Chain A
Amino acid sequence: MFWNPKIECMPKEDLKALQYRQLKQLVNNLYSFNQFYHDRMRAQNVHPDDITCLEDISKLPFMYKQDLRDNYPTNMFTVPNKEIVRYHVSSGTTGKPTLVGYTRNDLDYWTEALARSLTSIGIGPEDTLQVSYGYGLFTGGLGLHYGAEKVGATVLPTGVGGTERQIELIQDLGVTAIACTPSYLIHLGDTARKMGVDIQRDTKLRKAILGAEPWSESMRQHIESSMGVKAYDIYGTSEQAGPMFTECEERKGIHIAGDIMYVEIIDPETGESLGPGQKGEMVVTMLKKEAMPMIRYRIRDLTTLMDDDCECGRTSPRISRITGRTDDMLIIRGINVFPSQIEYTLLQIPEVGDQYMIHVSREGALDNMVIQVEIKPEAFSDKVEDMVRLRARIESDLKKYLNIAVTVELKAPGELPRFEGKAKRVIDTRMI
């Protein structure tokens, strides 16, 4: 089943020709109307006329997450505010969040991408999709919501949490598919078992769209054998719009709609282009994006590109499961966390010294983060109550800033390891 067979099954040469036309138009538009990218092109001495074929994209300058922060909130926008119809915000690394603005057309290509993806895994009007991604500033909830409505599925917008109630609704409403993080689905399965509910026997839930955090083939096997649902990987970040691309029924990589996003794989050290099958950093160009430029954006995810033919008939290239990051970003229960955010928050707390350690583990299905901090001698009190209160305050400050609950452990000065050269403050023992 195809949502948009003309585009999805377009001959590869035609798709390349279409991408070139889109790129050309995009570069012309940004050079004329976007101050940020105009300056960036000038600095690299590139003119729109230099783009004469699709491969010339490599002449264009890269964009970085830092660019989004430097231009916060709206300095990078190409269009006036009256054309912006929505914002999404993800947490920043040093105090400033990352803001993404959307025009009506930006929301449309996002929804179109999801309509194609959902159709490719057989979700349509007969289905009831429970969206257990967070709604709000996070892109997951609203993204899947509109995509599923577009294909005519019935949407149950539960958001995250209230797991027992979610399980009751899955039973009562005959939910057939769920979109959430893989760890939340495992948690939901465990909770169902405790309630005496067998997902396979007692519910109609058969498909799960899982993403927003790293997961593995072994987690897929665990989920499928323990719950009897077929699990599909989904990819997409707020910079691109939100989650949008999934595996098809073949499940041999995530199909990237070529008319929406152009993918390059580069060597993260040298910036050189890598061929299909070679693992490197993904660089994305959003060909339809209007509100803000996203050209040759260094997304920092590591993957490989596959452009052999897929059995499903789609001609779009595929990317393999994301295997890591080129920076130190952690994904904790689906939320992006940078160690620099933790450091920044701790620096604001006068009682805390400058040494800290971050321990990440997986307990059952859920990620657990413990932050050990050294307290300053003058912050010490002989009363346990005062110390417990200090710990609670540090935990609450971190939660406010990171949007996730963390456990803090207080340590005496000198207790935590010191580093010569590059500090290794993160110990991640999750077996993914």
Chain B
Amino acid sequence: MMVGNIITQLSIFVNNEPGRLASIASTLRECGVNMKAFNLAESTEFGILRAIVDDPEAAYDCLRNRGIIVRKTDVIGVVIQDTPGSLFAAANVFGEAGINIEYGYAYTGRSISTFFIRVDDPARAVEALDAAGIRLVTEEEI
């Protein structure tokens, strides 16, 4: 298994009240966290901020010390080619391999576009994608 293909996402609990996201964002700034990609999932009274950051370990410790509920989650980043059908190619691999996608979000960087995906078994997902010749992004590339 290629460990480099598993990317650490920070998941942060956010109360769904006015100003809460701003307060979390301000803490992220104080911790010097640079967010590469993020996604916000919400329920009626709380939200979950999922972020790919440049130094997840340092950011995790800093946020935790400031009393933020944060968790490290393994995700994978599928490189999406700028051509029709490239999302299908990746999604199809998951379907065939019986891997369940919990959620995902897209990120368009300077050089590559990535679809970050949370799956129930990231290691198996990496194997299946690798076998199908689909490229995964590494932390260094983001």
Contacts and interface: CB of A to CB of B under 8 A. Distances in A.
A147 B86 CA distance: 76
A382 interface: yes
Contact of A409 (B41, B45, B50): B45
Given A387-B43, A388-B43, A412-B69, A382 B15 contact: no
B15 A387 contact: no
B9 interface: yes
A385 B100 CA distance: 14
26 contacts: A375-B13, A375-B69, A377-B69, A377-B71, A380-B11, A381-B71, A382-B11, A382-B48, A382-B71, A383-B48, A383-B102, A384-B42, A384-B43, A384-B48, A387-B43, A387-B46, A391-B43, A409-B46, A410-B46, A411-B15, A411-B45, A411-B46, A412-B13, A412-B46, A412-B69, A415-B15
Interface string A381-425: 111110110010000000000000000011111110000000000
Contact of B103 (A383, A413, A414): A383
A410 B45 contact: yes
B67 A414 contact: yes
A95 B68 CA distance: 34
Nearest to A415: B15
A154 B46 CA distance: 52
A380 B14 CA distance: 11
A383 B48 CA distance: 8
Interface of B: 9, 11, 13-15, 41-43, 45-46, 48, 50, 64, 67-71, 73, 102-103, 118
A380 B13 contact: yes
Interface in A29-53: none
Interface of A: 375, 377, 380-385, 387-388, 391, 409-415
* Main DSSP-derived SS at the A contact region: mixed
Contacts of B103: 383
B46 A382 contact: no
A409 B13 CA distance: 13
Contacts of B46: 387, 409-412
A414 B20 CA distance: 13
Nearest to A385: B102
Q: 7 smallest A-B Cβ distances: which pairs?
A: A382-B11, A409-B45, A382-B73, A380-B69, A384-B41, A377-B69, A412-B13
Looking at B9, B13, B102, the one whose CB has the most chain A CB atoms below 10 A away is B13
Contacts of A385: 102
A385 B43 CA distance: 9
B133 to A, nearest CB: 29
Contact of A413 (B14, B67, B102): B67
A250 B84 CA distance: 83
Nearest to A409: B45
Given A380-B69, A382-B73, A412 B11 contact: no
A383 B11 CA distance: 9
B9 A382 contact: yes
Nearest to A372: B45
Contacts of B69: 375, 377, 380, 412-413
B137 to A, nearest CB: 19
A414 B64 CA distance: 13
Nearest to A408: B45
Contacts of A387: 43, 46, 48
A353 to B, nearest CB: 11
A387 B46 CA distance: 9
A248 to B, nearest CB: 48
B48 A412 contact: no
A65 B80 CA distance: 68
Nearest to B103: A383
A372 to B, nearest CB: 8
Contacts of B14: 412
Given A382-B50, A384-B42, A412-B69, 12 more contacts: A375-B13, A377-B71, A380-B69, A382-B11, A382-B71, A382-B73, A382-B118, A384-B41, A384-B48, A385-B102, A391-B43, A415-B15
Contacts of A412: 13-15, 46, 68-69
A66 B116 CA distance: 58
A411 B69 CA distance: 10
A409 B43 CA distance: 10
Nearest to B11: A382
B11 to A, nearest CB: 3
Contacts of B43: 384, 387-388, 391
B116 to A, nearest CB: 12
A411 B102 CA distance: 23
A415 to B, nearest CB: 6
A385 B11 CA distance: 14
A414 B67 CA distance: 8
